[in-house]
Amino acid sequence: MHDQQARIKSHIESHQHMASPLLPLLHAIQDDLGYIPEESYSNIAKALNLSVAEVHGVVTFYHHFRTHPPGKHVLQVCRAESCQAMGSEALETHVKSSLGIDFHQTTSDGAITLEPVYCLGNCACSPAIMLDDQVYGRVSSKQVDRLLADAKEAV
């Protein structure tokens, strides 16, 4: 906990002097910790001369930011039209039932967080998913199962 506060403090210090630093700072914190702890709002607000409400407002506006730690791996399944045209809905149903969770939830073992995403820019290779930082194209249910099994093993 103490370590976390120190890391947040150092991110604040390295960002506070840039032009409109809030989004880059929030990215830095989430990249480092996996989420943006609500306890950090007051320190961020003070350093950037904002109100806590403004910080909260920004964090909660953007789909990318999360206020709670995700699972060990984050799986994003594209729901946009191009992927729908190539069967992403069946893929989505398969992933949800095999993981036993819905979107925005984490498996009970803490291994996988499932999120929807609206376009990964991989539309000529639909359907697409992103597992952590890696995009996969022309994905089949079998391939997702394999990727998830590998990811769980690596936990």
Alpha helix ranges (H) inside 49-140: 52-61, 81-84, 88-99
Least distance between another protein and beta carbon 40 (Å): 16
125 CB-near residues (< 8 Å, 6+ apart): 137, 138
d(CA 138, CA 72): 24
Binding mask 38-77 for another protein (x = CB under 8 A): ----------x-----x--xx--xxxxx------------
154 forms part of the interface with another protein (CB under 8 A):
no
Measured from the CB atom, is 101 or 130 closer to another protein? 130
* Whether residue 127 has a cis bond before it, omega within 30° of 0: yes
Interface residues with another protein (CB under 8 A)?
A: 19-24, 26-27, 48, 54, 57-58, 61-65, 80-86, 117-126, 128, 130, 133-138
